[in-house]
Structure 1
Amino acid sequence: MAKIAFILLCHKDPEAIIKQAERLTAVGDYMSIHFDASAKPEFYTQIRNALDGNPNVTFSKKRIKCGWGEWSLVQATLHAVEAAVDAFPRATHFYMLSGDCMAIKSAEYAHEFLDREDCDYIESFDYFDSDWIKTGWKEERLIYRHWFNERTQKRRFYGMFALQKRLGLTRKIPEDLQIMIGSQWWCLRRRTIEWIIDFTKRRRDVMRFFRTTWIPDETFFQTLVRHLVPEHEIRSRTLTFLMFTDYGMPVTFYNDHYDLLLSQDFLFARKISPEAKELKRRLGLLYATRGWDFKISNEGRSLFKFLTGRGRIGRRFASRFWETESSLGRERELLIVVCKKWHVAKRLVDRIRQMTNIPCIEYLFNEESTPLPDLGGIQSTMGKRHRHRRALMRMLFDYYDSDRLIICLDPSNMDLLDDFCHDRSTTRLLEVECIFTDDYLTGHAMRVGLAGEKTPQETLDRLLPTIRGDIQFEIDQIRDANYENHNRMREADSPGANAIALENFLAIGHEKAMEIAKTDYLFAD
């Protein structure tokens, strides 16, 4: 049975640290604490007085002052790890935590999870080949020496960097190491931890290198584990659930995130808001429970992206200057079928294709796999299709040698609708209004990754109104735009009423329009 020694680096909120230590050790696990030497001395005294009598808690023999991006964070971790190795010989796993992490599974579940595979859990991606670093310095973190703290000593930090760069004072990366990068929230086996401690004593050259590396807590353990442990024994993931906003800031969890957190495929979560008293209470009770059946759906990140994305209205890609003045052609007619249920629109245009000679292209701006002719590469990626939308459409008109062309768009593509509807060509819209049942919306949420087979009903009950509201918001946007030549088919209407909309949209006779409107199973899900 796995027994976990938690490695806790902290610098504030002594009451929360005491409660966290008591909760996690009450079931037989251990904790080793490094409390920042720059924090208030009375906080440390308070923690020691409360926990010194707990045999499952130990403290770093040496405390140091820690700073963001510095080697001090790695050194503090090593001090806490060494204390844990000495104090807890029965610990099988060592798990990095911060003061604002909390368990989102029971101890029973966590121990069984770690017993399933004999492996280490640590994000470990190739430093140069991966895109883990999105912006800012990359090679500069390693090949230059960084002695000063970037946040508290900015002038010295950037001054020394500029001096080294001007003088060409770069250094080599240790030749036998493949530098890796990843989250600092890892869970390592005892054997791996002992190998790392031994490595730090033998390889002083590596230690010197990392001591002046910028943000080494993202590279030190990640590199050493990959160097010391066979690849098949490493799972390049963290067991701590955390998310970041578009601005690189950690997402904070509050009281109403309880069900969401429990359904994620992780053992802990970060960051829990200090104000989320009820969430902390419920999660604290959870760790000691037994027999809890966790339903893992793992939709947290995709759900967060969906919900935050709803608040952003605007163009995904700005128009290029050469596109702004380029028309599809005054004599051309672009017919756009707008429908949220793609399978309905595809059935409709397939029937139109059979009944008319108008070329039809399905969701070319939504589906990468949409069949398109070779147009010299402009059609090759979704990004190019969006950026060069007008050029792409002109080439498609030319390819099909037609002045009329039908395409399908999702209602979320307001930027495309705006662009095409304000072109000098004639643009006609056919909005296909479908009925969205709860069962359909649940299936839709699963298809796009917002929910899974095991998503709790309580989560779905909160999610479905949001999705329904999002769909209605897109429809309202289109109607508020007051586009010319806007026609509407409705699932709730009769074939006769829908035939009139098709007549106006396609400029065809009533009989043909009626035959299209009567298409079998047109609106079936």
Structure 2
Amino acid sequence: MAKIAFILLCHKDPDAIIKQAQSLTAVGDYMAIHFDARAPAAAYQAIRAALAGNPNVVFARKRVRCGWGEWSLVQATLLAVEAAVDAFPRATHFYMLSGDCMAIKSAEYAHDFLDRRECDYIESFDYFKSDWIKTGWKEERLIYRHWFNERTQKRAFYAMFEAQKRLGLTRPIPDDIEVMIGSQWWCLRRRTIEWVLDFVKRRRDVVRFFATTWIPDETFFQTLVRHLVPETEIESRTLTFLMFTDYGMPVVFYNDHYDLLLSQDFLFARKVSPLATELKRRLGVLYASEGARFQISNEGRSLFKFLTGRGRIGRRFAPRFWETESTLGRERELLIVVCKKWHVAKRLVDRIRQLTNVPCIEYLFNEEATPLPDLGGIQSTLGKRHRHRRALMRMLFDYYESDRLIVCMDPSNLDLLEDFCNDRALTRVLEVECQFSDSYLIGHAMRVGLAGERTPQETLNRLLPTIRNDMVHESDRIRDREFQNYTRMRELDAPEANAEPLARFLGVGQDKAHEIAATSYLFAD
């Protein structure tokens, strides 16, 4: 059975560290602690005194002063790892933690999880070929030497960098090393840890190289593990759940995140707020529990992206040249059916197609697989369709040899609606207002990745009002634009009432419009 030695790097809140160590070792696991030398000595002594009688806790043989982006973080990790290897011969796995991490599964579940597969869990992506680094320096982290801390010694840091760059003082990467990158929160087997420690002793040249790279905690272990362990024995992922905001800051978890955290396919989470005392208490009790069952839905990141995206409706800075200098044609009519329930809009345009013979195209700006004629490749991807929207529509008018064309759009495509309604062509918009039951909204959440089959009901209950309000907001935004030729038909209205806006939209008689509106299965889910 797996026995975990936790490698804890911490620098503050001694009371929380003491509780964390007591909780994680109470079930028979181990912990090696490195407490930052920058922190007060009194806080360190308080931790040592409180854990002195715990045989499952050990401390790094010396403390180093740690700084973000520095080699000191790797050095502190190696010191804690060495202490754990020496003190806990029965430890099978070594798991990196910070003082802000909390277990989000039981110890029983964590041990079973690690026993299932003989592998190391560490993000390990090709440094140069992957897109793990989204912005900023890439090769500059490696080929120049960095002796100063970018955050606390900014002037010296950049002065040294510019001097090396000006003088061409670059250096090669060790020939037999392929640099990898990934999260510093890993879980490695004992054999792998022993190989790493042996490699550190033998290859001082590699250690010297990484010691003057920038942010080596994202590259050192990731590179060595990939160098020492067969690829088939590496799972390139972290077992610690963490998210980042749009501003690159870690998302902080609070008391009301308990159910969400438990449903993620991870063993720990970072960062838990120091103020989330109830969350910490519940997670501490959970770690020591037996027989707990977890429904893994894993929708945390997509859910966070969705919720934080509300209210951040962007605008393109300027229209494309082909949008401002082209038109669909003054003599043409573009009829746009806007509906959130795509199946309803598809039934409607199918019925329109049967009774009017007007060419109808379904969600061409939303569905990649929408049937379209070959237009020379401009129709091949959603990205191209959006970028060349007016050119695409002109080509469709020409292809169908018609001056009237009907297309379907999602209410979220407000930028497209504004663009087409500002064209010289006559553009009409018909919004189809539908009712949304809870079951439909749950299905929608699953289709777009906000929920899964095992998402807890409590999470769904909190999510549904947000999704419902989001759909209402999309409709309100369209009405607020006050498009000149806007009409609306509603699921709650009788066919007689819906026939009138439909007749104006299509430019057909009342009888034909009523025949379309009276389609019996039109709004069925």
When normalised by structure 1's length, the TM-score is: 0.97
1:511 deviates by: 3.4
1:65 aligns with 2:72: no
Question: 1:124 — aligned with what?
Answer: 124
AA at the equivalent of 1:395: M
Contact 1:318 1:387 in 2 (8 A): no
AA matched with 1:299: E
The amino acid that maps onto 1:44 is: Y
Equivalence for 1:173? 173
| Distance in 1 between residues matched to 2:520 and 2:258, nearest whole Å | 45
Matched with 1:139 is 139
Displacement after TM superposition at 1:368 (Å): 2.1
Aligned to 1:308: 308
8 Å Cα contact 2:322/2:391 also seen in 1: no
User: Contact conserved, 2:322 with 2:388, CA < 8 A, in 1?
Assistant: no
Pairwise CA distance, 1:354: 2.2
Residues 265-284 of structure 1 aligned to structure 2 (within 5 Å): 265-284=265-284
Once the two structures are overlaid, the 10-residue window that deviates more, 376-385 or 151-160, is: 376-385
- Note if contact 2:255-2:276 (Cα within 8 Å) is conserved in structure 1: yes
Distance 1:163 1:382 in 2: 46
Give the CA RMSD over aligned residues: 1.5
Q: Distance in 1 between matches of 2:88 and 2:252?
A: 32
**Runs of 4+ residues deviating >4 angstroms:** none
What is the Cα deviation at residue 167 of structure 1?
Answer: 1.9
CA deviation string 1:368-399 (max 9, x = no partner) = 22233333443333233223322322232233
**1:341 is matched with which residue?**
341
Preserved contact between residue 385 and residue 392 of structure 1 (Cα < 8 Å): yes
1:434 partnered with 2:439: no
Structure 1 residue 315: deviation in Å? Answer: 2.5
- Quick one: which amino acid aligns to residue 422 of structure 1? N
**d(CA) in 1 for partners of 2:374 and 2:76?**
58
User: What amino acid sits opposite 1:459 in the alignment?
Assistant: T
Q: CA deviation at 1:99?
A: 0.5
2:264 match? 264
Q: 3-state SS of the aligned residue for 1:327?
A: coil
Task: Please state how far the C-alpha of 1:360 moved relative to its aligned partner.
Answer: 1.6
Looking at structure 2, the residues matched to 383 and 244 of structure 1 have their Cα atoms a distance apart, in angstroms, of 26
Distance in 2 of aligned mates of 1:205 and 1:373: 60
- SS of 1:312's equivalent? coil
**1:159 counterpart residue number:** 159
Q: Using a 3 Å threshold, how does the CA distance of structure 1 residues 318 and 278 change in structure 2: closer, same or farther?
A: farther
Q: Deviations over 1:73-115 (max 9, x none)?
A: 1111000001000000011110000010101111111111111
Moved more, 274-283 or 415-424: 415-424
The CA deviation string for residues 274-306 of structure 1, in whole angstroms up to 9 with x for no partner, is 111111111111111111111111110010011
1:299-348 superposed Cα distances (whole Å, 9 cap, x missing partner): 10010011011121232674224523433222221111000011111121
Please give the alpha-carbon distance, in whole angstroms, between the structure 2 residues aligned to 1:179 and 1:372: 45
Amino acid at match of 1:394: R
The equivalent of 2:510 in structure 1 is 510
Q: Is the 8 A contact 1:317 1:386 kept in 2?
A: no
Point out where structure 1 has 5 or more consecutive residues left out of the alignment.
none
After superposition, the C-alpha distances for 1:119-175 in whole angstroms (9 at most, x for unaligned) are 111111111111100001111111111111111111221122112222222211122
**Which one-letter code corresponds to 2:78 in the other structure?**
L
- Matched AA of 1:54: N
Shift of residue 39 of structure 1? 1.2
Equivalent residue for 2:23? 23
The CA distance in 2 between the partners of 1:316 and 1:177, in whole Å, is 43
Deviations 1:185-220 (A, max 9, x none): 001111111111111111112111111111111111
Superposed counterparts of 1:5-404, under 5 Å: 5-315=5-315, 318-404=318-404
Q: Distance in 2 between matches of 1:523 and 1:160?
A: 67
Instruction: Give per-residue Cα distances to partners, 1:246-267, cap 9 Å, x unaligned.
Output: 1111111111111111111111
SS at match of 2:288: coil
Does the 8 A contact of 1:314 with 1:415 survive in 2? Answer: no
Distance 1:393 1:47 in 2: 69
Native 8 Å contact 2:126 2:179 kept in 1: yes
Question: What letter corresponds to residue 390 of structure 1 in structure 2?
Answer: R
Partner of 2:336: helix, strand, or coil?
strand
Distance in 1, matches of 2:252 and 2:328, equals 47
When normalised by structure 2's length, the TM-score is: 0.97
Higher mean displacement: 157-166 or 63-72: 157-166
Distance 1:140 1:355 in 2: 65
Q: Give 1:356 deviation, angstroms.
A: 2.2
Write out per-residue CA displacement over residues 450-475 of structure 1, whole angstroms, 9 at most, x where no aligned residue: 11111111111111111111111111
Question: CA separation of 1:520/1:178 partners in 2, compared to 1, >3 Å: closer, same or farther?
Answer: farther
Distance in 2 (alpha carbons) for counterparts of 1:315 and 1:366: 18
Q: In structure 2, what is the Cα distance between the partners aligned to 1:4 and 1:82?
A: 15
Kept after mapping to 2: 8 A contact 1:297/1:452: yes
Given that 1:126 and 1:179 are in contact with CA atoms closer than 8 Å, whether structure 2 keeps it comes out as yes
Q: Distance in 1 between matches of 2:56 and 2:202?
A: 30
SS in 2 for 1:96: strand
**Alignment partners' CA distance in 1, 2:395 and 2:220:** 52
Q: Equivalent residue of 1:287, what SS? A: helix
* Preserved CA contact (<8 Å) 1:36 1:63: yes
- 1 CA distance for matches of 2:44 and 2:446? 48
